[in-house]
Structure 1
């Protein structure tokens, strides 16, 4: 179950308590000192946990940003590759205009003989 933390004076049995704090449980100043110390420790621990959580989330966000940059670079390369490929295809499909020399097919035949 739940661990037990308790202030234990000379008239208490410490065997029943998981984490005994030896102190005078009758003195108001003693109890106030212990409670103040415990509350400060809890507050410090919470701050450390919160900072750790903030650091973890910042690290995750940074990793996601790096992955996004990598994907962006890859997609830019793919787009550039597609642009080059389509330009090549357009150049290949482009019909070359006939030159005046090629208009008369009989001239080609005569030159070949």
Structure 2
């Protein structure tokens, strides 16, 4: 499994999670993203850098603009990590169910 740490770091902030939701529909410039928040454009740029470092977005230069696009495939390491815990809890709940059914009889 790939190291999910950069992705978790990127997802740790609500502003960055909100940006990802915005980018799910279309690519956006820094200015377009910044219009949706009450923080400076420089702060938005920093958030976008963290998202890019985590691989959650890709940035493409088109002329003077930098277009930010969601890269949902980068969530795979996080999904793999969460699947481990899904399996853990499935096993625990199955054991609990067995114990309860055994106790009833």
Give the alignment's TM-score, normalised by structure 2: 0.35
The answer to which structure has the higher helix fraction is 1
So what's the TM-score if we normalise by structure 1?
A: 0.33
Between 1 and 2, higher relative CO (CA 8 Å, sep ≥ 6) is seen in: 2
More strand by proportion, 1 or 2? 2
